[in-house]
Amino acid sequence: MTVMSSQRNMATNSSIDHCNVPNNATYQTLSWVMMGEFVLGLPLNLSVLYIFIFRFKFWKNKSIFLFNIVVADFLLVACLPAKAYHYHKHERHNQDKVVCKTMFFMLFLNRGATIAFLITVSIDRYFNVVHLGRKNFVKVLKKSPQISILIWLLLLPLTIPTMVNTFECCNSHGREVETFLHDVTDTFREIVCFTQIIIPFIILVYCTVRIVNRLRRKTVGEKTKLRRAVFVVLSVVVVFSVCFLPSTIARAVLLGVRLRKWQAAEDVVVQVYDGLMVLSYADCLLDPLVYCFCNSGFKDAYVATFCPTFLQTRWPNSDCGTVTTTTTTYTNQNPGTKTVSFQVLEKL
């Protein structure tokens, strides 16, 4: 009787929590993918942190928002080994509720921070191009480190629902026993999950369309700056389209299937959703492209530090570093002298 009761409780918990692994081979593969993201992402983000702090000096180059994205990516990379370990053990979550909730809290916080600062950078570029000459409030905000701290603090209330005690197994909705607190917590979390992707994506599309239209109307002499602005917003759109949108769509499908109690379909959709979530962690590998498009000085500093030979052949007129003025004086055939001044760029 005790064994039968235990088995019945296990089955009930499985149906309530939806934490079973439908296919061991799928999650074994996903664990190796995450380890690959970790192996590539750790040295990449460490090198980017080094450049931002010691070579580029982000606080002097108005790149505080970009530096915050680097911090968010680094925290995300730090979570990947634990997540990969759980998948390798054929578990969708850690059995310890504290560890499980902490992991989801970190993932929600890091994703929210990345999106918030990427959108801020895109809006800043939009105002610089489309509304050139008008007062750009983003340009004023990005000079203050206190604003970045405020953004992080505002993100905390949006991640608190992942720490609620009744948050069973890090899942949402479709439980056999649904309490009012369960329902409110899950609904709030899902609203945050979807709005933090959909609303920023709409903003990105709007900024991209306006900047492209501005590029078409501008004269040839101004097109270089505008093309760079287009590359910035397009790179952010690529990050959203590859990393965030697919998992968000899969999340919506998963919730619909779970609420209708289609267990066979749920077993498939769960694997698709978890696979796309693993893909979303690749934003820590794609974000450096945004840094390069946003600030050519960062690109030049990075290449000068880690690829100096390549820099000399491809970017002989690199714009990173300091500029010194050398004055040469010579005498021509006519009386008097002529002074010629030219700029020499010193590499970082």
Same domain, 249 and 321: no
Tell me, what's the pLDDT at 133?
65
Whether residue 60 lies inside any domain: the answer is yes
What's the whole-number mean pLDDT along residues 307-333? Answer: 48
- d(Cα 341, Cα 141) in Å, to the nearest integer? 37
What tens digit of pLDDT does each residue of 71-113 get? 999 988 998 998 899 898 888 877 777 777 788 888 888 888 8
Whether residue 240 lies inside any domain: the answer is yes
Same domain, 191 and 317: no
Q: In the structure, what pLDDT confidence band is assigned to residue 138 with cuts at 50, 70 and 90? A: low
| Total number of domains constituting the chain | 2
Question: Cα angle at 86 between 153 and 166, to 5 degrees?
Answer: 55
What tens digit of pLDDT does each residue of 253-288 get? 988 898 888 888 888 999 999 999 999 999 999 888
Q: Is the pLDDT of residue 63 over 90?
A: no
Same domain, 218 and 334: no
pLDDT: is 47 or 339 the higher one? 47
Same domain, 29 and 110: yes
Same domain, 109 and 223: yes
Whether residue 224 lies inside any domain: the answer is yes
| DSSP strand pairing (322-331 vs 337-346) | antiparallel
Distance, first Cα to last Cα, the chain: 75
Q: In the structure, what pLDDT confidence band is assigned to residue 35 with cuts at 50, 70 and 90? A: very high
Same domain, 237 and 331: no
CATH at residue 36: 1.20.1070.10
Same domain, 56 and 180: yes
- d(Cα 56, Cα 119) in Å, to the nearest integer? 22
Bridge partners of 339?
329
What's the whole-number mean pLDDT along residues 322-348? Answer: 42
Element (H, E) at 331: strand 322-331
Domain that holds residue 339: 313-346
Same domain, 251 and 324: no
